Structure 1
Amino acid sequence: MQKAIISFGICLVIGFGLGYLVFGVIMGDSDQQTQVAQTETETTNQADTPDSASAEKENTEAKEGATTSVSADNILDQRGCLGCHSVESLNLKGGAVGPDLSQAFVNVEGKHGKPIEEFLKAPTSAVMSGVISKDPLTDEERQQVLELLKQASEAK
C-alpha cells in the first residue's frame, strides 16, 4: 500500500512537471506576449531623379500589395486564439499548436462539413469544441472573427 502511494506521488510530480514544461515554458504565456502586426516601412529619397514621381507611385503600390495592417488589439488576440493559432497572411504571430488561420475562411467548410459561421457556434473538431464550449463567442465577437478571417483569406 505504501509503495502505491509513493508511486502515485512520483507520477503526480512528474505529470505536473511535464505540464508546466510543455504549457508554461515551451508554448509560452500568451497573455504576456504582445501580438503586433508587422508593417513594412521604407523611406527612399529620390527627389534628385527625373522619374521620382513615377518611382514613388510604384513604391506605394508595392507597399499596398505587400502588407496588411491589423490592430494589435484584435479579436483573435483578445479571445486568446493567438495562443495556439497564427495568421501569417496578416503577420499575426501566434502559437504553433493550432493550424494557421490565413485560409480558414474558405477552408473550414470543406474540412469540417459546415460553414465557418456555424463552425464558430458549434465546432466539429474535438479541440475547438472544448475551447468554444467553455467560453462561447458572442454574436458581435463572431462577426469580428469572420471579418478578420475574411481579410486574411483575401490578403494571401
Structure 2
Amino acid sequence: MKKPLIIFVISALIGLGLGYLVFDVIGSDDSKPEVAVSDKEDASTKEEETNNTDDTVAVSDDNILQAKGCLGCHAVSGLNLEGGATGPDLSQAFNNVEDKHGKPLAEFLKEPTSAVMSSVIGGNPLTDEEISQIVEALQKAAE
C-alpha cells in the first residue's frame, strides 16, 4: 500500500515541476504580448521598421493597437503584427465590421455589438482620438 502511494506522490511532484517549467519558465511573460515584424528579421531591421511609417505601423510601445491591448487577443497580419490567437485577425476589420455588426468600425469601437468586445471596451472605453488612430491603422492594414 505504501509503494503505490509513494509512486503517486513522486509522479505528482514531477508533473507539477514539469508544468511549472513549461508554462512559467519556458512560456515566459504572458502579460505583455510579443509583437514581431517577421521571424527572419533581426533587431536592427525591427528598429528600422519602427521608424518607417510608409508601409507598416510602428512596432513599439506607442503603437495604439499594442497600447490599448488589442494585440493581447488579436493579430494584424496586414501590418505584420503578431498577437494573440483568441480573437480574429484584424487585417480586414475595416472592411468587414460594418457587414458583420451593422455599423462602421468607428461606431463599433464606441458601442460594440459583440458581447465579448462590449465587456472589453466597456471596462476600458476608448477616446475619440484613440478610435480614430485604431481606425486609421486598421484601414492601412486592409489596403
Q: TM-score, normalised by structure 2?
A: 0.65
- Using the TM superposition, give the Cα deviation of residue 39 of structure 1 relative to its aligned residue in structure 2, in angstroms: 9.5
Please tell me whether the aligned partners of residues 38 and 69 of structure 1 are also in contact (alpha carbons under 8 angstroms).
no
3-state SS, counterpart of residue 81 of structure 2: coil
Task: Map Cα deviations across residues 111-139 of structure 1 (whole Å, 9 max, x no partner).
Answer: 01111111000000000000000000111
SS of residue paired to 1:97: coil
Deviation for aligned residue 1:36: 3.6
- Distance, in Å, in 1 between the alignment partners of 2:31 and 2:68 is 11
The reply to whether residue 148 of structure 1 matches residue 137 of structure 2 is yes
Greater C-alpha radius of gyration = 1
Worse overlay, 98-107 or 69-78: 69-78
Q: How many residues align?
A: 105
The reply to whether residue 103 of structure 1 matches residue 92 of structure 2 is yes
**CA offsets 1:77-122 (integer angstroms, 9 cap, x no match):** 0011000000011110000010000000010000011111110000
**1:71 corresponds to:** 58
* 2:34–2:83 Cα contact (<8 Å) kept: no
Percent identical among aligned pairs is: 56
State the distance in 2 between where 1:83 and 1:30 align: 8
Q: Which amino acid aligns with 1:37?
A: V
Conserved? CA contact 2:112–2:118, under 8 Å: yes
Q: Alpha-carbon deviations, 1:25-64, whole Å to 9, x = none?
A: 68x6142x442434988xxxxxxxxxxxxxxxxxxxxxxx
Partner of 2:117: helix, strand, or coil? helix
- Distance in 2 (CA, whole Å) between partners of 1:145 and 1:101 is 11
Does residue 127 in structure 1 map to residue 116 in structure 2? yes
* C-alpha RMSD of matched pairs (Å): 2.6
**Counterpart in 2 of 1:80?**
69
- Assess if the C-alpha contact under 8 Å between 1:123 and 1:129 holds in 2: yes
* AA of the residue aligned to 1:68: D
| CA spacing shift, 1:90–1:119, aligned 2, 3 Å | same
Gapped runs of 5+ residues in structure 1?
1-20, 42-66
Q: Which amino acid aligns with 1:29?
A: D
| Whole-angstrom distance in 2 between the partners of 1:136 and 1:100 | 21
For residues 30 and 77 of structure 1, the distance between their equivalents in structure 2, rounded to whole angstroms, comes to 12
Q: Distance in 1 between matches of 2:124 and 2:74?
A: 17
